[in-house]
Amino acid sequence: MKSILIKTIAALAIFGAAQSAFAARPYAEVVTFLNSSGTVIGGDVVYCNNVAYHMGTTSSSYYVVALESCSGSAYQSPVYPGSGVENYVLPGDETIQEGCVTVGVQCLIDVQPQINNINGMIWQPGWVNPVF
């Protein structure tokens, strides 16, 4: 009985240590991928609790990366003030202001990412490390 109790305590300690390794993220993140016409072709979303989703193509030369703070204070965009845009490359001479109103592009202005199905694509569980 004592051996089982010691093993249980050890297992709980290991489990507790493993859980702390997956601490909350500083930012929720959404990456939206577009084709050369500016149409959304895929994306990745990861929430503050590390739950993640992906859809469609998760690699493109054109993308918008947006963040939202998990701490309650708004993320301050270095490239598009008033939004959550962290980085972007858009086709042609499209501006980020135009890109943020494209259907499916999320610029995260003080909101958490949404997983709305776009252009017939369905969000699937899991994060696919984006390739830019």
- Mean per-residue pLDDT, 61-88: 90
Q: Does residue 43 register a pLDDT over 50?
A: yes
**Confidence bin at 109 (pLDDT 50/70/90):** low
User: Which residue blocks in the chain are alpha helix, DSSP H?
Assistant: 2-20, 96-99
- Mean per-residue pLDDT, 57-86: 90
Are 45 and 112 a contacting pair, CB within 8 Å? no
pLDDT value of residue 56? 92
One-letter amino acid identity for 113?
A: P
Q: Which residue has the higher pLDDT, 1 or 65?
A: 65
Write the CA distances from 34 to 19, 30, 74, 83, integer angstroms. 35, 13, 26, 19
Q: Which residue has the higher pLDDT, 132 or 122?
A: 122
Q: Does residue 24 register a pLDDT over 80?
A: no
